[in-house]
Amino acid sequence: MFEIDPKTTRRARDFELWIKSPMPMVTLTKTFDVSRLRKAAKRQGIRFTTLMCWCIGKAASGIPEFFMLPVGEKLMGYERLAVNVVVETADGGIATCDIPFSGSLSQFQADYARLTRQAHDSGELFSLGDDYAIIGTSALTNCEIDSFVNQYSGIWNNPFLMWGKYRRKLFKTTLPVSFQFHHAQMDGGEAARFLNALQETMNAV
């Protein structure tokens, strides 16, 4: 992690406008066609959620804003991405777990399985520390949910995606996904570009 002077980036004006806002978070919700993603997960023997998280990292890796994050009143830069997931623990609680993103799906799948199992068994969170820009996720796959509106804690400014159970129809499977981001980090244009890239990544798996 390293500090970036916002004035040297294209975020200069927006960073100044939004960094002290009492409510700087924006939430967009998009319904994705996950038909190919579901089939790919089944064909390759990969959990749908694992594949979903890899697609999120893959889509985000092509957008520079995901490598910058407001921390306090500073803009920090990162060289690597990770996807954070919520894990149900052996004692019935939950723990969060950072999965380093890799362009290799097999490597990401191996890390996902190893680290989430570790969090499940130990009941303790696993953090990669300050070396990674973290993208938060949460999946409530036992319920069909139309949209999530996340709260702003004032502590974590990371981009965050949430979804529920996908919806199977005769010829199509869909999934509404809510995406929250800090307005000092990106605008709606970059957020929409990410959501479009996520759909393209799902289609290409």
Please give the radius of gyration of the chain, using alpha carbons only, rounded to the nearest integer.
17
pLDDT for the residue numbered 55: 98
- What pLDDT score was predicted for residue 22? 85
- The model's pLDDT over 125-176, given as tens digits with 9 standing for 90+, comes to 999 989 999 999 999 999 999 998 877 777 789 999 999 999 998 889 999 9
For 36-65, how does the pLDDT look when each residue is reduced to its tens digit (9 = 90+)?
999 999 999 999 999 999 999 999 999 999
Q: Which domains does the chain have, with CATH numbers?
A: 22-204 (3.30.559.10)
- Check residue 21 and give its pLDDT: 87
Name the nearest CA neighbour of 61 among 50, 53, 70. Answer: 53
Q: How far is Cα 112 from Cα 51, in angstroms, rounded to an integer?
A: 10
Bridge partners for 75 per DSSP: 4, 70
Under 8 Å between Cβ of 197 and 55: no
The per-residue pLDDT for 20 is 87
Largest CA distance in the chain: 52
Question: Which pLDDT tens digit goes with each residue over 81-134?
Answer: 999 999 999 999 999 999 999 999 999 999 999 999 999 999 999 999 899 999
Cα dist. 14→2, 50, 162 in Å? 20, 34, 25
Quickly count: other Cβ atoms within 10 Å of residue 50's Cβ.
Answer: 20
Task: Phi first, then psi: give them for residue 187, nearest 5 degrees.
Answer: -100, 175
Instruction: Give CA angle at 171 (166, 175), nearest 5°.
Output: 20
What percentage of residues in the chain have a pLDDT greater than 70?
100
